[in-house]
Amino acid sequence: MTDSAPHPLVYFFGQGRADGTAAMKDVLGGKGAGLAEMTNLGIPVPPGFTIAASLCSTYLETGGFPPRLRPQLEAALGRLEAATGRQFGGTVEPLLVSVRSGAAVSMPGMMETILNLGLNDTTVEALHRLSGNASFAYDSYRRFVQMYGGVVFDLAKRPFDEALDRRKKAAGAARDIDLPWEALRDLTGEFKEIIHKETGKNFPDDPMQQLWGAVAAVFESWNTRRAADYRRHHDIPDSMGTAVNIVAMVYGNMGEDSGTGVAFTRDPSTGERVLYGEYLLNAQGEDVVSGIRTPEPISRLRERMPEAYADLERVSRTLERHFRDVQDLEFTIERGHLYMLQTRRAQRSGHAAVRCAVEMVDEGQISEEEAVARIPPNDLNQLLHPTIDPKAQPDLVATGLPASPGAASGAAVFDADSAEARGKKGEAVILVRRETSPEDFHGMVLAKAILTARGGMTSHAAVVARGMGKPCVAGAHEIEVDEEARLLTVNGRRIAEGEIITLDGSTGRVFAGPVKLIPPELSGHYSRLMGWADGMRHLRVRVNADTPADAHRGRDFGAEGIGLCRTEHMFFEGERISAMREMILASDEAGRKRALAKLLPMQRTDFEGIFRAMEGYPVTIRLLDPPLHEFLPKEKEEIRALADEMGKSIEDVERTISRLSEVNPMLGLRGCRLGIMYPEITAMQARAIFEAACTVAARKGRVQPEVMIPLVAHVVEFRKQALIVRQVAEEVFRERQITVPYLLGTMIELPRAALTADEIAREAQFFSFGTNDLTQTTWGLSRDDAGVFLPDYLERNIIEFDPFIELDIGGVGKLIAMAVELGRHARQDLKVGICGEHGGEPGAVAFCEAQKMNYVSCSPFRVPIARLAAAQAALAERGTMNRTRATV
């Protein structure tokens, strides 16, 4: 065949040889490639052929098959007849086939399968004579008609199941296989009547018509709702399409010496090196996964069929060694003989993934680099947070966004004060709010988890919960939260305060009542894997931490510094919020300074604790960022209490709140603009930072403070704030008779800052990209309001992903790349990092590696994920460039 000749549309496998190989997944799909490879390895596989995946999109676009498919399919069918010695549609030894989907990426259960195709009223009699088993023949026939009705005619299962149940009841049969053959024959006729009644069409008796109908149905199943949802969730492109595998039937339902099952070469939950799975005697493959009958553990097969079990063990070892990975196997035993129907990379839990990778290194099957490269970074979430017991059957009441991973059960409470009070008593509580604000922080600290009816993946609740490692479900639009009545309502169901609910922040599910949880466990396997990863990566990984407790947690997870310390979170508790409000309500600079003098020692103590926790690693402290109105109360009673506390009239307080309120506070008086309008705030914070640094340094501690000026749009803004910081630093160093090296930089979170990065870099020593606000300002999109329409945008394929969850490399990424290039052109030793919520997202980490950044920073529980993602990004680029980096 010349290079210009068209590629084949059909690939045959059988009798120890195959047209394809495991490397042809894009052409044959995963199932077809696996069947071809097993055939080439000499493993017992029933013969068959695969229709190329490229035809899926052709069929879906045109509604038909290309003319050259028919002769290739008929030729392959002829080869299959020759390989089996049977005839398709034959009346003596009929050839029956299965028709199965198989995309390049495994999509278990998402698309369609048909078994026993080729049966009709004539061939079933031939099958009866050939097998000598009428029950087997008619059981196969009724299964085929039922599956064909569901898959090709798109009929619901219910009328078929009801007819089957009636027959079993009439015959006194407990199981399908206990029905007499006459009942199975009559049931098949009833199934055909159901098809005709529901569709007005007759069931096709012609095997070739059956086959073309099945192939079309498998292609069409690519666009079912469940398949499309699965692809979107797993980032599988719609253009991939599915191949179709047509395989000679082998029968697990021929009697007690036959069976079918699913096996894994290692336990997919724990990673233990043991053959794991389930099987059923006298059954066909779909029975195992459909739940019609309860399968038995694979270990019992050793007792029932020792020879078949020994063959299965031998094949499983061969396949794992060959593919150098844990395999998920499907098999059928026909009258004692083993046939393999599928091998694919096994899906597994995070615990199992880590254990299998490390132990396969010890066994010499893979290298340390391969072990690091094959673990999906987000799978580490399962090792770091409690998870729902997979054996539990909880009462699902609502689904929202999986905003922060982990699971928790607790009493529903509807305000932060109640959460704090009950939490302090040791009670497990879940804070339920329409949406959270910074004022809820004290309740969020003591809640086990947070549930909100509004907001998205980067809402206040989500960001704070991730920072604290607490489960959070956000934007659960099905629920109505009545905070005054202390009531949660969902689809007419009421859950009152104090009733137990359970959240799964990894999936976004909300359950009524308590659910059994599995605690997190960090094994020795995990430590070894992460040690290898740390030795392979270039990027440093820091933590976003606002308290000494967060800093210690980050260090425990391997953080190498703090990339974002948000000073405003220190102001929302007890005496601090009172002093902050006093500063805001002050009528002149002198009053503001008196209030700030109360805040100074509090901030200094916080910074000392953080510096000590970081043990000499760099600590990037962002000066005050949010607008002042966020520190003021909203409810009438709270305003009255504040007025009494400050000795002011309610009217004065309300006027101040009104004056500070903004139409669009996200783009208003906040960040460095606050420091320019009220320079005494910047001075107080700078003094707290440097006094704390000097205190720790004087006690033989190591400190590396990095002061970050937020929301800079113009270099002059940075220059004015930097001047205050440097003046205060010199004053403190003179007073303390000690000098502490520090860096002064800015957060790049506005498009203008990115576009003028060269100007800013001549003044700033480091850039930290705040991708949350940079995404908002680049897209012109509020992350708190995006939940109203962004899901529809995703559903309609207007955009392919949520830019607040995945970094928008094509848009925001271009600004970041431009800013890095401009900044380093102006200052060669410019340190560059990222500290937004994207800092722990594997795709964003890979982007940062490509931009030769120095570090990424993320919430504490994302640190291990970022460490692993950074190692994988380095491995992906290994050998392509030699580079040096500025010190971290």
CA distance 164 to 175: 10
3-class SS of residue 50 = strand
DSSP string for 166-192: HHHHHHT-SSGGGS-HHHHHHHHHHHH
DSSP state of 375: S
SS3 110: coil
Q: Dihedral of CA 375/379/380/383: which sign?
A: negative
Q: Among residues 309, 252, 304, which one has the least CA distance to residue 283?
A: 252
Residue with tokens 């009493």: 411
Look-up: residue for tokens 């020692």?
Answer: 601
Closest-CA residue to 42 (of 439, 322, 380): 322
Cβ atoms within 10 Å, residue 879: 6
Tokens of 792: 């529809």
User: Does the CA dihedral 167-170-175-179 come out positive or negative?
Assistant: negative
* Residue whose structure tokens are 């549930």: 451
569 is catalytic: no
Between CA 838 and CA 858 the distance in angstroms is 8
Structure tokens of 28? 């044959």
Nearest Cα residue to 245 out of 16, 34, 7: 34
CA–CA separation, 745 and 310 (whole Å): 66
Angle at 547 between CA 546 and CA 550, to 5 degrees: 90
Q: Would strands 429-433 and 407-413 be described as parallel, antiparallel, or unpaired?
A: parallel
**End-to-end Cα separation, the chain, in angstroms:** 57
Q: Which residue from 256, 255, 250, 287 is spatially nearest to 116, judged by alpha carbons?
A: 250
The position carrying tokens 């980490």 is 845
Strands (E), 265-364: 276-281, 296-297, 327-334, 337-345
Q: Is the dihedral of CA 460, 466, 469, 471 positive or negative?
A: positive
Report the candidate in 427, 430, 414, 426 with the shortest Cα–Cα distance to residue 481: 414
Question: Which tokens in the block code for residue 456?
Answer: 């998205």
592 contacts: CB under 8 Å, gap ≥ 6: 583, 586, 678, 680, 681
Nearest to 410 by CA among 494, 517, 291, 323: 517
Residue pair 433/460 in contact by the 8 Å Cβ criterion: no
Distance between CA atoms of 320 and 317, rounded to whole angstroms? Answer: 5
Which candidate in 472, 694, 835, 858 is catalytic? 835
Query: Contact, 682 vs 726, CB < 8 A?
Result: no
565 has catalytic annotation: no
Please answer whether residues 10 and 69 qualify as being in contact, where contact means their C-beta atoms are separated by less than 8 angstroms: yes
With beta carbons less than 8 A apart as the criterion, state whether 793 and 728 touch: no
Question: Residue 10: what residue type?
Answer: V
CB 634, CB 415: distance < 8 Å? no
Q: Which candidate in 442, 460, 538, 629 is catalytic?
A: 460
Helix (H) or strand (E) holding 525: helix 524-536
3-state secondary structure of 865: helix
Three-class HEC string of 238-284 = CCCCEEEEEEECCCCCCCCCCEEEEEECCCCCCCCCCCEEEEEECCC
Structure token digits, residue 820: 């890095």
Of the candidates 679, 766, 792, 773, the one whose C-alpha atom is nearest the C-alpha of residue 725 is: 679
Which residues are catalytically annotated?
Answer: 460, 835
